[in-house]
């Protein structure tokens, strides 16, 4: 007796269409377009998991620069002074301190200033 792929193929197609739910037009309803779109979406997702890390670092640096300027320092001076003052906080935590605890950030900035001799 001849066997067909009927059930397996239908299940595979259902799996693809489920992943493509919400896509506009043929991208969500035509099998070939769905395959192409999902492939491209996977590539973007893989790439952007790495890009996200870069973008957040840029955001933290921008926030830190703004907070440093309010305390009379430049970002580069601040980062240099952190190592001289032996303060081992990363940019993410410093950014959070600058937003949610400005007084705490001011004390960190003053410690940096004394380490720099300002």
Position 107 scores a pLDDT of 96
Class of domain 7-116: mainly alpha
Whole-prediction pTM: 0.81
Q: What angle do CA 81, 82, 86 make, to 5 degrees?
A: 115
Position 83 scores a pLDDT of 95
Position 10 scores a pLDDT of 95
Residues whose CB is less than 8 angstroms from the CB of residue 112 and which lie 6 or more positions away in sequence, other chains included? 73, 77, 78, 81, 82, 84, 85, 87
Position 2 scores a pLDDT of 80
3-state secondary structure of 73: coil
Each residue's pLDDT expressed in tens, for the chain with a length of 118 residues: 787 889 999 999 999 999 999 999 999 999 999 999 999 999 999 999 999 999 999 999 999 999 999 999 999 999 999 999 999 999 999 999 999 999 999 999 999 999 999 8
Position 57 scores a pLDDT of 98
Position 1 scores a pLDDT of 76
Q: What angle do CA 68, 73, 77 make, to 5 degrees?
A: 105
């Amino acid at each position: 007796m001849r066997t067909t792929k009927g059930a397996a193929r239908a299940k595979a197609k259902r799996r693809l269409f489920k992943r493509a739910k919400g896509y506009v037009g043929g991208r969500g309803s035509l099998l070939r377009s769905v395959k192409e779109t999902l492939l491209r979406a996977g590539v973007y997702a893989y790439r952007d998991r790495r890009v996200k890390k870069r973008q957040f670092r840029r955001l933290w640096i921008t926030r830190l620069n703004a907070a440093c300027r309010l305390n009379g320092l430049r970002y580069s001076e601040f980062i240099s002074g952190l190592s001289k003052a032996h303060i081992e906080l990363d940019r993410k935590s410093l950014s959070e301190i600058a937003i949610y605890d400005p007084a705490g950030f001011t004390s960190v900035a003053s410690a940096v200033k004394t380490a720099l001799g300002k």
